[in-house]
């Protein structure tokens, strides 16, 4: 099968969609900002990079190395630390997300 290029209009649509998704991820992360605070330092940037990496890395082959290749400005060590060792409140975040989703589904 030959590798086909998308027409320029399709590429522009894809770029606009990607920008919209990135903006949406940022607004969701901002809504849960309190869970990404470690002392006075926020981990929002790493959270954004991680979520973006999940969406951008090839399905079925997602790992930190592939995420770092896809996400501009991300670094392997800092993203790995965010996932494995950073003391941000992952349990609190999951509980609030679950509650919010449950309320939305009941509507």
User: Does residue 84 lie in a domain region?
Assistant: yes
Domain count, the chain: 1
Q: Which residues pair with 65 in a beta bridge?
A: none
User: Does residue 16 lie in a domain region?
Assistant: yes
Q: Among 8-17, 51-60, 88-97, where is mean pLDDT lowest?
A: 8-17
Mean pLDDT, residues 84-104: 88
Q: Is the pLDDT of residue 90 over 50?
A: yes
What pLDDT does 55 receive?
Answer: 79
User: How many angstroms from the chain centroid is the CA of residue 19?
Assistant: 13
What pLDDT does 11 receive?
Answer: 61
Categorize the per-residue pLDDT at 106 as very low, low, confident or very high, splitting at 50, 70 and 90: confident
Domain of 21 in residue numbering reads as 8-106
User: Does residue 44 lie in a domain region?
Assistant: yes
* Burial call 29-48: b when 16+ CB within 10 Å, e when fewer: beebeebbeeeeeebbebbb
What pLDDT does 1 receive?
Answer: 46
What pLDDT does 38 receive?
Answer: 85
User: Does residue 1 lie in a domain region?
Assistant: no
pTM of the complete model? 0.66
- Cα separations in angstroms, 14 against 1, 19, 107: 22, 9, 32
User: Does residue 3 lie in a domain region?
Assistant: no
What pLDDT does 6 receive?
Answer: 47
């Amino acid at each position: 099968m030959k590798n086909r290029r998308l027409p320029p209009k399709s590429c522009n649509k894809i770029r606009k969609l990607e920008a919209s998704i990135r903006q949406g991820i940022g607004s969701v992360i901002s809504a849960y900002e309190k869970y990404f605070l470690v002392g006075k330092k926020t981990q929002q940037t790493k959270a954004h990079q991680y979520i973006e990496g999940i969406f951008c890395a090839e399905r079925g082959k997602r790992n930190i190395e592939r995420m770092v290749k896809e996400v501009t400005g991300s670094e392997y060590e800092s993203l790995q630390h965010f996932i494995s060792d950073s003391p941000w409140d992952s349990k609190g975040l999951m509980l609030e997300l679950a509650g919010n989703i449950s309320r939305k589904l009941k509507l």
